Structure 1
Amino acid sequence: MNKPGQRRQAAISFILITLFIDILGIGIIIPVLPELVKSFVQGSTADASWYVGVIGSVYALMQFIFAPVVGALSDRFGRRPVILCSLFGLGVDFIVQGLATNIGWLFAGRIFAGVMGASISTANAYIADVSTADTRARNFGLVGVAFGMGFIIGPALGGLLGAFDLRLPFFVAAGLALVNWLYGYFILPESLPPERRSSFTLAKANPLGSLQRLRQYPIVAGLAVAIVCTSLAQRGLENVWVLYTGYRFDWNQQTNGLALGLVGLMAMLVQGGLVRPTIKRFGERRTVLIGVTISFIAFLGYGSATQGWMIPCIIIFGGFGGVSGPAMQSLIAGAIDPSEQGKVQGALTSLISLTNVIAPTFFTAGLFSYFISDAAPVHLPGIPFYVGAGLIFTALLIIRRVFRRIPETEQVESGSLAT
């Protein structure tokens, strides 16, 4: 008979493979989506930026609305069926995008993907289900490795495929997502036993009402505000990256694919190899502060870079900021009751999705598009990164305040906080 620890490790391996293929499918279209939009609108980079931003906002709005629903459903019916439905929906979405003949098709595809795109939050709940207090940070670090590997191969492969046909990466991504769905259908075990499940109500699935649940866990509520700031900055970077590097350094799909692959490689190395020793040396809280500080400096570097060769150097330095994510996830997961993991993770996903609603329009269609246009008072294409740095610095101040207000001695590993 397998020991409980062996069963937990096997379950983690299953979900990490699922996440890897999931992120690979997403990463593969990153270098080509802006180019596909350009082919539809036949306008300037500024014109395409506006459409890319609005499409991203529509997708995120759907995630904001439906993430709490998905989280509450996973608490009621288990993680496995929710993850499988999300993967199948993702595969359908890629097919719709690959067949798109106009901007309207892309909007339809992103709307559907947003409804089905909450598998990441459910996967976080899955990891929390099968982790212990001693293994949480390590396991969330392995999630970062899966993300990193997906972003190493995905964007590089997307750039190469896109050089042949802009639509080819979408169909390859669809195939990967559907193969992943088949894999999960036959292999992925359930992580939430029936006795630990909770009822489903519309109140729990309300995207605004679900945010109130964060107030039950003071440290989670405090960190959630910081997560909003860092997520808004990161989403801004992701949405403007291809447009920015193409405009500033004349990078093509292949170059962007390789650069994004380097981002993934750093995520894999840092979150797979440095998270555990860093947390062991400094503790979860100081690790969060160190990582967020590095990210702040990196964003300033992206906005100030004057030559393309500087960007890979900044990517390598900024990659070390990746230690903060698993440490923060571990702090949050350790403060949540097991039966509430799905709902709270869903609420956090809603907050992140809300930043996704704002970021594409604000950073891409707003800041970047305006400050490279003739109407701008000053030509400043790096302004999205400067604004992002300001948001990350704000998050750093908030995190320090939360840690001072809630001493580490008050945090209880049983899934609640002393009050």
Structure 2
Amino acid sequence: MSEGKTKVVFVQLGSPKSPKVSDVRAFLREFLADPRVVDINPVLWKIILYLFVLPFRPKRSAELYSRIWDGKTFPLLSITKNFTDRVRTFLTSPKVEVNHAFLLSEPRVSAVWDDWEKDPNPATKLKVIPMFPQYSESTIASGLDGLAHVYKNRVKIPEISVVTNFHTTKAFIDNSVLQIDKYLEKFKNEGVHLDRLLLTFHGIQKRRVVQKEDVYYQHCYETFFLIRSRLKNISPDKVTMTFQSRFGSEEWLTPYTEDTVVKLVQKGEKHLAVYSPSFVADCLETLDELGHELKHTAQEEGGDIHFIPCLNDDEKWCKDFASFVEHQCLSDIETREADFYTLEKKDYKEFIEMSAQELKQKSTPLTPEAKTSIYIVALTIFLDLVGFSIIFPLFPSLAKHYLTVDANNVYLQAIFGSIQSISNYTADSTNAFSGIVLFGGMLGAIYSSLQFFAAPLWGAWSDRIGRKPVLVRSMAGMAVGYAIWFFSGSFTLLIISRIIDGIMGGNISTATAVVADVTTKENRSKGMAIIGVAFALGFVVGPAFGGILSLIDLTKIYPESVAWGVNPFSVPAAFAFILSVFNTVWISSKFKESLPPEKRGEAKTERSANIFKLFKPLPYPGVNLVNLGYFSFLTAFSGMEFTLTFLAAERLNYTSMQNAYIFIWIGFIIAFVQGGYVRRKAAVVGEKRMALIGMVSLIPGLLLIALAYSSPMLYAGLFFLAVGSSMIMPCLTTLVTFYTPSEEQGRSVGIFRSMGALARVLGPIFAAIIYYKDGSAAPYYIGAVFLLIPIIMVMKLPEVKEQAV
């Protein structure tokens, strides 16, 4: 064994085996499954990866890879091998040997390690140099994870060290400058008058830099500064730093290279040179993304891109890097440090200014005043959801009760007459239970259909007269509706109470508009998440108390009260009434108007006898697509939500109390996810992306419930549904407000809520019919497929523009 001998391994990412779709899919499967590369919830990401990325993306990626395939291999693989071989020829000390390895291609790090173990005279030290100049978690840290995985089960472990970055080395900077100046001179000799040079770096999510304090952005700037200040063939003010290679809908480091090129060409800077200091070997991101696709983008705008290759296996670069490697392995600290350029404090002035604008936290704290307003209206929404959901666990027994005590009621007969017209339902038939499901669907539709009509009216009215008077009047009206329900001994009074509460429950659009009034673009998702928690708690308290309080039957305790219309469900109604009265008083005394007088009446909304005029497309990009996506999502979700208690009662013999437990489980998960994760992460991850993740997670939930014949499987499906819906609701609501001017928030959110109410009309009806026709599993299978529609719609949403806030 040679004392002091060091094996140096140059590690690159790698490439697919070939441009075949199957090989590209295998490459992407391994690459994108790395939690360092995609650092979101691993369970949700695997669902997205296997259901939506791997079935479709490999075909497109294979087309791109085929453009850089030479028939035998890819440039990254051959260049890395050639680079290693040339560096080896420039080494002067027998105490240093070099090899190359790939994280996702052959030879892998494990193969290099195997060769080291078999060497009869092995090195005693191992130095790993990831060939990514700047440090980033998604590259260097990912490589370190791979290295740790290789040696965790090994017995023989050498002394290991890692070079985590070389972005300020003289070898890298000086050779990059020589490469750029050489090509700038070449372009000039060809008669090209260059307008600007773009130093384009591979992008990462801005969240990584802001939250995780990844130093990548700083390293990019240091590389940019050192190169720009040393170039001879172009003025420093003509050199711009940009970022390329975005993936997904989350916000990445900006300015984006493609957007910058379009703006520059449109401004008159037609000839642009591009060089990417993120790479030392040409690959898909340089040869195709910059040399082909970016060039095509520029040409479409009337400009042109002049591509500068990476350092690759340039002779001087290989010689200088060999010297750097030997110094790092054999020299003293002073010599090793001399291989790096250092920046002075004054050199960071521009970086500090850029960071203040580029990297400021997207999610800023809510003010105390905003929190107060939001918590007050959250209580309003909470009560609305209590009134809506308190009846959920009661539907089966509610239908049976009125069929027993008020069978000749004209409205009850009308509903069951409608049921009989679409089915062969009879009270004593084998499909009697499914007929009750249809009854419940129609009864639930009454409440939601009135919300559909009322929500935009409440919202538009609040835009004119202010939020507070609308909230006070609507909450007082809800109390009246609940009072009537308390005395609804007849089915007619029950219908009247649901009509009143359905109309007054449309105030949710006004309550949501308050959040838009008191928040900014940066913290609106926090406000909407608090509202989302109110939704969740409404679904906890409503069904829970509906089930618990239904155990108290006043007609048995006070039989004489039946003459006053008291019924077995009067106690849940009394609970909702008390809460509504309290909230009316609370809003009247505590809530401060959130819409200033100068902003009232600015919305160009005209009241009309034709309610549907309020639902014509709004002239704001994104709003209508969000509304349609929300409608499609909630149609599928509300169908599940409604038929859930019937499925549990039919398959698992659940009682009203056991049905209440279902909604308690859903509600607590939603409250936990929205109050914790969504409130803190939505603005950073991106509302659009989080909504997509939520929609995708609903699919396994629906499928699990469709297959559920046991409580554990049912609750597992409910977990996915709760997590998904907790992400979708506040994020889509936030997106609507982002796309809408402040003076139209009430109307816009009102229409959004109305589309949701319409979905709650149609979803339960369609689900009930499907349940009746095709069985209890059918609504969930169909709902899972139907969710593809809102997923596609949300994917097509435009970027949020500042003027829409």
Q: TM > 0.5 between the two?
A: yes
Which structure ranks higher in relative contact order (CA pairs < 8 Å, sequence separation ≥ 6)? 1
1:393-408 equivalences in 2 (<5 Å)? 393-400=788-795, 402-403=796-797, 406=798, 408=799
Of the three residues 4, 19, 23, the one matched with 2:381 is 19
1:163-178 equivalences in 2 (<5 Å)? 163-165=551-553, 166-167=568-569, 168-178=571-581
* Aligned CA distance change for structure 1 residues 280 and 188 (closer, same or farther; 3 Å): closer
Of the three residues 51, 59, 62, the one matched with 2:447 is 59
1:51-90 equivalences in 2 (<5 Å)? 51-90=439-478
* Aligned CA distance change for structure 1 residues 204 and 343 (closer, same or farther; 3 Å): farther
Q: CA deviation at 1:219?
A: 0.9
1:10-409 equivalences in 2 (<5 Å)? 10-42=372-404, 43=427, 44-165=432-553, 166-167=568-569, 168-198=571-601, 202-203=606-607, 206-214=610-618, 216-279=619-682, 282-321=685-724, 322-364=726-768, 366-371=769-774, 380-400=775-795, 402-403=796-797, 406=798, 408=799
Question: Which whole-Å CA distance do the structure 2 matches of 1:162 and 1:137 have between them?
Answer: 37
Question: Which whole-Å CA distance do the structure 1 matches of 2:486 and 2:433 have between them?
Answer: 22
Q: CA deviation at 1:202?
A: 4.3
* Aligned CA distance change for structure 1 residues 353 and 148 (closer, same or farther; 3 Å): closer
Contact 2:529–2:730 (8 Å) recurs in 1: yes
Q: What amino acid is the match of 1:9?
A: K
Q: CA deviation at 1:356?
A: 2.4
Contact 2:525–2:683 (8 Å) recurs in 1: no
Q: Considering only aligned residues, what root-mean-square deviation do their CA atoms show, in Å? A: 2.2
Structure 2 residue 802 is the aligned partner of structure 1 residue 413: yes
Compare 124-133 and 176-185 and name the one that shifted more. Answer: 176-185
What's 1:5 paired with?
367
Q: Secondary structure at the match of 2:616?
A: helix
Q: Secondary structure at the match of 1:74?
A: helix
Question: Which whole-Å CA distance do the structure 2 matches of 1:266 and 1:162 have between them?
Answer: 24
Compare 205-214 and 299-308 and name the one that shifted more. Answer: 205-214
Q: CA deviation at 1:204?
A: 6.6
Question: Which whole-Å CA distance do the structure 2 matches of 1:190 and 1:45 have between them?
Answer: 49
* Aligned CA distance change for structure 1 residues 9 and 73 (closer, same or farther; 3 Å): same
Question: Which whole-Å CA distance do the structure 2 matches of 1:54 and 1:175 have between them?
Answer: 27
Contact 2:456–2:509 (8 Å) recurs in 1: no
Deviations 1:140-185 (A, max 9, x none): 1111111222222332222111122231111111111111111111
Q: CA deviation at 1:281?
A: 5.1
Question: Which whole-Å CA distance do the structure 1 matches of 2:552 and 2:523 have between them?
Answer: 44
Question: Which whole-Å CA distance do the structure 2 matches of 1:158 and 1:301 have between them?
Answer: 26
Q: Secondary structure at the match of 2:711?
A: coil
Contact 1:22–1:180 (8 Å) recurs in 2: no
Q: CA deviation at 1:206?
A: 4.5
Contact 1:25–1:173 (8 Å) recurs in 2: yes
Query: What percentage of aligned pairs have identical amino acids?
Result: 29
Compare 276-285 and 234-243 and name the one that shifted more. Answer: 276-285
Contact 1:72–1:205 (8 Å) recurs in 2: no
Q: CA deviation at 1:280?
A: 5.1
What's 1:374 paired with?
none
Question: Which whole-Å CA distance do the structure 2 matches of 1:58 and 1:313 have between them?
Answer: 31
Compare 289-298 and 191-200 and name the one that shifted more. Answer: 191-200
Contact 1:68–1:206 (8 Å) recurs in 2: no
Q: What amino acid is the match of 2:650?
A: Y
Q: CA deviation at 1:222?
A: 1.3
Contact 1:34–1:48 (8 Å) recurs in 2: yes
TM-score computed with the length of structure 1 as normaliser: 0.89
* Bigger Rg, structure 1 or 2: 2
Contact 2:733–2:749 (8 Å) recurs in 1: no
* Aligned CA distance change for structure 1 residues 20 and 385 (closer, same or farther; 3 Å): same
Q: CA deviation at 1:119?
A: 1.6
Q: CA deviation at 1:51?
A: 2.1
What's 2:345 paired with?
none
Contact 2:706–2:781 (8 Å) recurs in 1: yes
* Aligned CA distance change for structure 1 residues 280 and 189 (closer, same or farther; 3 Å): closer
* Aligned CA distance change for structure 1 residues 344 and 204 (closer, same or farther; 3 Å): farther
Deviations 1:260-297 (A, max 9, x none): 01111011111110114443553222212111100122
Q: CA deviation at 1:308?
A: 2.0
Contact 1:29–1:170 (8 Å) recurs in 2: no
What's 1:375 paired with?
none
Contact 2:529–2:675 (8 Å) recurs in 1: yes
Q: CA deviation at 1:114?
A: 2.1
Q: CA deviation at 1:230?
A: 0.5
Runs of 5+ unmatched residues, structure 2: 1-365, 405-426, 554-567
Q: Secondary structure at the match of 1:306?
A: coil
* Aligned CA distance change for structure 1 residues 307 and 340 (closer, same or farther; 3 Å): same
Q: Secondary structure at the match of 1:350?
A: helix
Q: Secondary structure at the match of 1:217?
A: coil
Question: Which whole-Å CA distance do the structure 1 matches of 2:524 and 2:608 have between them?
Answer: 26
Contact 1:207–1:350 (8 Å) recurs in 2: no
Question: Which whole-Å CA distance do the structure 2 matches of 1:358 and 1:342 have between them?
Answer: 24
Contact 2:384–2:508 (8 Å) recurs in 1: no
Which structure carries more helix by proportion?
A: 1
* Aligned CA distance change for structure 1 residues 106 and 95 (closer, same or farther; 3 Å): same
Q: What amino acid is the match of 2:804?
A: G
Q: CA deviation at 1:414?
A: 2.6
Question: Which whole-Å CA distance do the structure 2 matches of 1:67 and 1:391 have between them?
Answer: 25
* Aligned CA distance change for structure 1 residues 313 and 205 (closer, same or farther; 3 Å): farther
Q: CA deviation at 1:103?
A: 2.7
Q: CA deviation at 1:211?
A: 1.9
Which structure carries more strand by proportion?
A: 2
Deviations 1:101-144 (A, max 9, x none): 23322222222222222121111101111111111011111111
Q: Secondary structure at the match of 1:32?
A: helix
Question: Which whole-Å CA distance do the structure 1 matches of 2:383 and 2:625 have between them?
Answer: 32
